[in-house]
Amino acid sequence: AQSVSQHNHHVILSEAASLELGCNYSYGGTVNLFWYVQYPGQHLQLLLKYFSGDPLVKGIKGFEAEFIKSKFSFNLRKPSVQWSDTAEYFCAVTSGSARQLTFGSGTQLTVLP
């Protein structure tokens, strides 16, 4: 069975700091990878996704993620965070023929003004 690990449970940064949130998955075959964001009181929104091709994926709001197959990782990055980036971030994966998303435990990002 596939699983997703997010090792950072809570990250606190000051505005303009750089961000990197870790995501590792366990599955040996073909995977589709996602990052979702959940702003306070709002529903999940897709930040970016990787299916194939260029392993460096650019998403909305200045976020990007890099798929490193050898490390089974899909870390999320942003060069300069803003206060409005305060939210919960979830990494998720589908694998093989499975249509279901498996979510990581989430990382709460707090950006201090």
Partner 1 sequence: GAVVSQHPSRVICKSGTSVKIECRSLDFQATTMFWYRQFPKQSLMLMATSNEGSKATYEQGVEKDKFLINHASLTLSTLTVTSAHPEDSSFYICSARDTRGASGEQYFGPGTRLTVT
Residue ranges that bind partner 1, judged by CB under 8 A: 32, 36, 42-46, 49, 51, 90, 99-106, 108
In degrees and rounded to multiples of 5, residue 3 shows phi and psi of: -145, 160
Of 11 and 17, CB closest to partner 1: 11
Q: Work out how close the CB of 85 gets to partner 1 at its nearest, in angstroms, rounded to a whole number.
A: 18
Which tokens is 40 given? 């306070």
Of 2 and 73, CB closest to partner 1: 2
Q: Work out how close the CB of 63 gets to partner 1 at its nearest, in angstroms, rounded to a whole number.
A: 17
Of 67 and 104, CB closest to partner 1: 104
Q: Work out how close the CB of 113 gets to partner 1 at its nearest, in angstroms, rounded to a whole number.
A: 23
- Report long-range pairs for 97-105 (Cβ below 8 Å, ≥24 apart): 98/2, 101/34, 102/2, 102/3, 102/4, 102/25, 103/4, 103/36, 104/4, 104/5, 104/6, 104/23, 105/5, 105/6, 105/9
